[in-house]
């Protein structure tokens, strides 16, 4: 999650052709990737799709550290492959589907700022849902800041100690409790300021 701000930075600062492409086309491209992932059932086809996405990743010069994000969903796929009795063909198909989907998503996120994605989705989804997506996205950054501060305070005061697992667990839980209280307080302040700025069920984007 810490990578979120870095992804956002890449999406805003990037200058490649993919960054300059309209978010509408990129979302459409992602739909095609998803269609490929859903419909392709052959190793060659999936390899080709994954190869194209990796080439695109290299071509637009995204940092390698971002590429590691595409492997994250493999952790859960490991659980699922037990269904097949660990057959190589099934494992390869599942892994390629996972990697193609996650590489497509990372390409989209690293080349398109979130507000642009939400505003494009706003053409198809109810405005309430899009507003909620935007508020959640904004809240993630607010909570990340609180979490970072709380984490530092806990470390500095010896809140995490492997020798005292129960005490550490209590401290971690209290930190999450604090996160929620701070989040609720921030949400009340956010609502007040939104109303002051004339909020009525919908967030308007620049250019609307």
Partner 1 sequence: MSHIHLPDGVLPVWLWVSGFILAILVGGILLKLTKREELTRRLPLLGMMSAAMVLGASIEIVPIAYHINLTIISGILLGPTLIFLATFVVNMILALFGHGGVTVIGLNTLTLSLEGVLGYSIFHLLWKMLKRLTLATFSASFIALLFSTLAMIGVVSLGTSHYKELIHQEEGKGIFEFKLLKEKGEHLEGTGEKEEVNLKRFIAIVLPLGFIGWVLEGVITSLMLRYIYRLRPDLLRL
The tokens 């990340």 sit on which residue?
Answer: 144
111 binding partner 1? (CB under 8 A): no
- At its nearest, how many Å lie between partner 1 and the CB of residue 191? 4
Phi and psi angles of residue 67, each rounded to the nearest 5 degrees, phi first: -65, -30
In the window 5-34, what residues touch partner 1 (CB under 8 A)? 34
The whole-angstrom separation of Cα 156 and Cα 158 is 6
In the window 32-51, what residues touch partner 1 (CB under 8 A)? 34, 37-42, 44-45
The whole-angstrom separation of Cα 122 and Cα 202 is 10
The whole-angstrom separation of Cα 14 and Cα 109 is 11
Closer by beta carbon to partner 1, 80 or else 155: 80
Closer by beta carbon to partner 1, 19 or else 138: 138
The tokens 């198809």 sit on which residue?
Answer: 124
- At its nearest, how many Å lie between partner 1 and the CB of residue 154? 14
# residues near partner 1 by CB under 8 A: 75
- At its nearest, how many Å lie between partner 1 and the CB of residue 122? 13
135 binding partner 1? (CB under 8 A): yes
Task: Please list the alpha-helical segments (H only) found in 71-126.
Answer: 74-80, 88-111, 114-121
- At its nearest, how many Å lie between partner 1 and the CB of residue 16? 20
**Residue 194 is encoded by which pair of tokens?**
């939104």
Q: What would the x/- binding string for partner 1 be over residues 159 to 198, using CB under 8 A? A: ----------xx-xxx-xxxxxx-xx-xxx-xx--x----
The alpha carbon torsion through 76, 77, 80, 81 (nearest 10 deg) reads -140
Angle at alpha carbon of residue 76, lines to 59 and 183, rounded to 5°: 85
- At its nearest, how many Å lie between partner 1 and the CB of residue 24? 17
Closer by beta carbon to partner 1, 52 or else 143: 143
């Amino acid at each position: 999650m810490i990578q979120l701000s870095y992804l956002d930075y890449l999406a805003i600062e990037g200058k490649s052709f993919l960054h300059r492409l309209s978010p509408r086309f990129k979302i459409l491209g992602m739909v095609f990737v998803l269609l490929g992932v859903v419909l392709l059932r052959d190793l060659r086809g999936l390899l080709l799709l994954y190869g194209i996405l990796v080439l695109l990743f290299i071509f637009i010069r995204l940092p390698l550290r971002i590429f590691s994000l595409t492997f994250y969903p493999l952790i859960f796929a490991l659980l699922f492959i037990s269904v097949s009795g660990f057959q190589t063909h099934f494992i390869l198909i599942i892994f390629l589907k996972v990697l193609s989907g996650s590489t497509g998503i990372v390409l989209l996120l690293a080349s398109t700022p979130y507000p642009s994605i939400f505003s494009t989705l706003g053409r198809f989804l109810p405005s309430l849902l899009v507003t909620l997506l935007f508020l959640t996205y904004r809240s993630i950054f607010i909570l990340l800041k609180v979490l970072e501060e709380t984490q530092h305070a806990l470390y500095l005061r010896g809140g995490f100690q492997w020798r005292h697992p129960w005490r550490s667990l209590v401290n971690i839980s209290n930190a999450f409790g604090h996160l929620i209280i701070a989040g609720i307080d921030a949400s009340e302040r956010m609502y007040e300021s939104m109303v002051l700025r004339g909020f009525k069920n919908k967030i308007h984007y620049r250019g609307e």
